[in-house]
């Protein structure tokens, strides 16, 4: 049987790790052609050796002469990463974090391949351009974010006329904490997610609920939904990832033990051939399944996310871009936890007081507004 050839962008990260463990269990079916990282080349070399990968991409310039790199074809700088793909590549995994991958994903969309895309920041910033371009170039986009992957598969089994979707949030580490204590949340506390082990940026986003705010916008662009068709609620057990609500009152849900390997596996295999991977769901392990509304007072990211989604045009991208900068500032210790969303809102007001919102922005307009933000961002006293 011909092996599926894959290239993993962001192989050294948390999603990368899940992909690698799937490959480890399915070596007779999967072959890795290329892997990339930002700067963690020693981890990349280790992965390269284990999986016998020839092509490796490293974004940051490495000044030292590293002997072990001679065993690989090295692609230096993210600008060259699309060269890791060739005519034999079947599946691309896009698991670079944040907007640094924006130019790269734009090149990859034009290759007519199958792309499993974990990176929600690029989906949001590109807005409707992503699916429009993928259609134009016959590229297949499979969302890997667990909620959106669930929706993607649930939509293949329709039970009537579609009404709306509901995505769930585990609630992150703080949904039960009183609002008074939010200001003093440390980086370390915010990074410790109760359910998922993820990269830093998305872990902080889960703590502020910006992750869920980004995900409702992600759903809008991936599935072409109207704003009032997207619901989100807290489900602390995190075994239902998403639901489809039909006009006839039926709701379908996709349940599995929280594990990124399940959505990722759906990229490579039919559902009945990935039995090796995950722990089976036993509902008797759960004495209750809870569902609660998201408190907008405690988590203003949710309100702000809905507002920018309603505004449309450049607003979701601006919210997303500001969030990425402000999360980094929180991690660096220059602002406190509640400032992440507070400053985002102040900056959004400033941006749209000084710039027109362009309703169907092209790529250059998205980049221009981000440059404007770089030059004008207010980050407090
Ligand atoms: P990590 O921080 O764990 O990994 C990020 C990966 O991207 C690493 O390989 C990193 O390399 C690489 N990278 C970062 N910056 C650059 C850059 N400038 N140029 C090239 N490569 C870069 O993140 P996650 O794996 O947690 O998340 C990846 C994406 O998937 C995010 O967009 C996130 O929102 C999304 N996602 C993640 C989920 C999860 O469970 N983790 C769930 C749903 C979505 P290096 O190691 O050298 O820094
Ligand atoms: Mg998610």
Same domain, 204 and 111: no
Indicate if ligand 1 lies below 6 Å from the C-beta of 95.
yes
Is the domain of 193 the same as that of 284?
Answer: yes
Of 310, 334, 364, the residue that ends a domain is 310
Adjacent-strand bridge partners of 252? 244
Instruction: Indicate if 118 and 159 belong to the same structural domain.
Output: no
45 within domain boundaries: yes
Whether residue 367 has pLDDT greater than 90: yes
Would residue 269 count as lying in a domain? Answer: yes
Length of the chain: 381
Three-class DSSP labels, 137-158: CCCEEEECCHHHHHHHHHCCCC
Global pTM value: 0.96
Q: Which strand ranges, in their side-by-side order, compose the sheet holding 4-9?
A: 73-76, 55-58, 30-37, 4-9, 91-94, 114-117, 140-143
For ligand 2, a single-atom ion, which residues have Cβ within 5 Å? 145-147
CB 116 less than 6 A from any atom of ligand 1: no
Residue bearing tokens 């667990």: 146
Q: Report the alpha-carbon distance of residue 45 to residue 53 in Å, rounded.
A: 9
What DSSP designation does 277 have? Answer: S
**Closest ligand, as measured to the CA of 264:** 1
Q: What is the CATH number of the domain that holds 16?
A: 3.40.50.720
Nearest in space to 323 (alpha carbons), one of 95, 140, 121: 121
Short-list 215, 137, 142, CA closest to 172: 215
Q: Assess if residue 369 is contained within a domain.
A: no
Ligand nearest to the CA of 259: 1
Return the best residue to mutate from 12, 76, 96 for the ligand 1 pocket (most ligand atoms within 8 A of CB).
96
Q: Does residue 120 sit in the same domain as residue 203?
A: no
What is the reported pLDDT for 65?
84
Q: Which of 310, 330, 364 is a domain's end point?
A: 310
Residue 205 shares a structural domain with residue 159 = yes
How many domains does the chain contain in total?
2
- For ligand 1, mutation pick of 8, 12, 15, 149 (most atoms within 8 Å of CB): 15
**From the CA of 1, how far away is ligand 2's center (Å)?**
33
Q: How far is the CA of 115 from the centre of ligand 2 (A)?
A: 17
Same domain (yes/no): 122, 41? yes
pLDDT 10s digits, 250-307? 999 999 998 899 999 999 988 777 665 567 889 999 989 999 999 999 999 999 999 9
Per the domain annotation, does 346 fall within a domain?
no
Query: How many CA atoms does the CB half-sphere of 47 hold within 13 Å?
Result: 29
242 closest CA partner among 357, 353, 165, 177: 165
Q: How far is the CA of 186 from the centre of ligand 2 (A)?
A: 23
pLDDT in tens, 33-56: 999 999 999 999 999 999 999 999
Does 172 lie in the same domain as 112? no
Q: Is residue 347 part of a domain?
A: no
The answer to whether residue 324 sits within a structural domain is no
Q: Structural domain of residue 9, as residue ranges?
A: 4-143
18 lines ligand 1 (CB under 6 A): no
197 found inside a domain: yes
């Amino acid at each position: 049987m011909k092996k599926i050839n894959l290239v993993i962008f962001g192989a050294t990260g948390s999603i990368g790790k899940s992909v690698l463990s799937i490959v480890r269990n399915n070596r007779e079916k999967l072959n890795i052609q290329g892997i990339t990282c930002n700067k963690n080349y020693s981890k990349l070399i280790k992965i390269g050796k284990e999986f016998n990968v020839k092509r490796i991409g490293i974004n940051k310039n490495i000044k030292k002469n590293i002997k072990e790199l001679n065993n690989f074809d090295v692609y230096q700088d993210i600008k060259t990463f699309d060269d890791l793909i060739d005519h034999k590549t079947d599946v691309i995994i896009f698991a670079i974090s944040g907007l640094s991958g924006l130019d790269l994903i734009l090149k990859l969309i034009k290759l007519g391949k199958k792309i499993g895309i974990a990176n929600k920041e690029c989906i949001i910033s590109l807005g409707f351009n992503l699916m429009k371009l993928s259609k134009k170039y016959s590229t297949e986009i499979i969302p890997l974010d667990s909620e959106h992957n669930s929706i993607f598969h649930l939509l293949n089994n329709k039970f009537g006329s579609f009404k709306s979707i509901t995505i769930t949030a585990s609630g992150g580490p703080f949904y039960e904490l009183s609002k008074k204590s939010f200001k003093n949340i440390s980086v370390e506390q915010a990074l410790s997610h109760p359910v998922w082990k993820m990269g830093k940026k998305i872990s902080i986003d889960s703590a502020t609920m910006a992750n869920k705010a980004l995900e409702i916008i992600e759903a809008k662009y991936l599935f072409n939904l109207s704003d009032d068709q997207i619901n989100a609620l807290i489900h602390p057990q995190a075994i239902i990832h998403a639901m489809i609500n039909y006009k006839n009152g039926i709701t379908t849900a996709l349940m599995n033990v929280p594990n990124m390997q399940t959505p990722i596996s759906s990229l490579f295999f039919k559902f009945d051939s990935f039995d090796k991977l995950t722990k089976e769901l036993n509902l008797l392990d759960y004495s209750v399944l809870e569902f609660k509304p998201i408190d907008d007072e405690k988590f203003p990211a949710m309100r702000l996310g809905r507002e920018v989604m309603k505004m449309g045009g450049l607003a979701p991208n601006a919210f997303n871009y500001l969030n990425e900068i402000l999360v980094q500032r929180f991690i660096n210790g220059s602002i406190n936890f509640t400032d992440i969303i507070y400053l985002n809102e102040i900056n959004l007001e400033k941006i749209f007081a000084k710039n027109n919102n362009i309703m169907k922005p092209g790529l250059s307009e998205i980049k221009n507004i981000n440059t404007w933000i770089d030059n004008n961002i207010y980050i407090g006293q």
